[in-house]
Amino acid sequence: MLGQRNDPLLNHNFVITLVDSTSALGAAPATSPGDVLSSALAGFSECSGLEMSMQPEEYKEGGNNAAVLKFANRVTWANLTLRRGLSVSTELWDWHYGFVEGRGRRRDGAVILLDAARRPSRVWCFRRGLPVKYSGPQLNATQNNVAIEAIEIAHEGIFQLPVAGAGAI
């Protein structure tokens, strides 16, 4: 074990998948990173919102003036926001606009963080994603930046898939 290093993972090497929640893959959550990687959607430049929080339930016990007891309560999940360079594909717009027209379908998805060798290192999966906001690019004729589109996804929970060899300290 002499000389073996476990450097922190870099945040720029990731893949996103989105699968119809009613499809065969969406019907049962993916069970391996390979299943998830086989349905990669596109290259995104940014992903934010991998967050969960819990507001504890407080109980002020009579006669116990030294402390307020705290108990576990419901977990809340932040919305995921995905950003990518605008391309010829209109898939994100179409997914969101499908709900405007009453024909939209929820999607399950995954965020896969890859190591330096492009092997899955962490996999966060979310259930029943619902696109709640689409943002088109900010256009400015005096600049030459990449046109970025974004989609915000509400969902019903995030879980992690185990990755072989990951998590060793």
How is residue 3 annotated by DSSP?
Answer: T
Residues 6+ positions from 58 with CB-CB distance below 8 Å: 68, 69, 70
Q: Residue 166 is encoded by which pair of tokens?
A: 């990951």
Indicate the pTM of the whole model. 0.78
Tell me: the pLDDT tens digits for 107-127? 999 998 888 888 888 899 999
169 pLDDT band, cuts 50/70/90, is very low
Q: What is the mean pLDDT of the chain?
A: 83
pLDDT of residue 166: 54
Q: Which two tokens stand for residue 101?
A: 């027209």
The reported pLDDT for the residue numbered 2 is 66
Confidence of residue 28 (pLDDT cuts 50, 70, 90): very low
Model confidence over 69-89: pLDDT tens digits?
999 999 999 999 999 988 888
Q: Which residue has the higher pLDDT, 129 or 3?
A: 129
Residues 6+ apart with CB under 8 A from 120: 33, 36, 37, 112, 113, 114, 163, 166
Do residues 117 and 13 touch, judged by C-beta distance below 8 A?
Answer: no
Q: What is the domain partition of the chain in residue ranges? A: 14-46+76-137+146-160
* Angle in degrees, CA 81, 15, 75, rounded to 5: 45
Q: What integer pLDDT is reported at residue 66 of this predicted model? A: 92
Q: What percent of the chain has pLDDT over 70?
A: 81
Residue 17: count of CB within 10 angstroms of its CB: 22
Paired with 17 in beta bridges are: 40, 110
- Burial class from Cβ neighbours inside 10 Å (0-12, 13-18, 19+) for residue 58 reads exposed
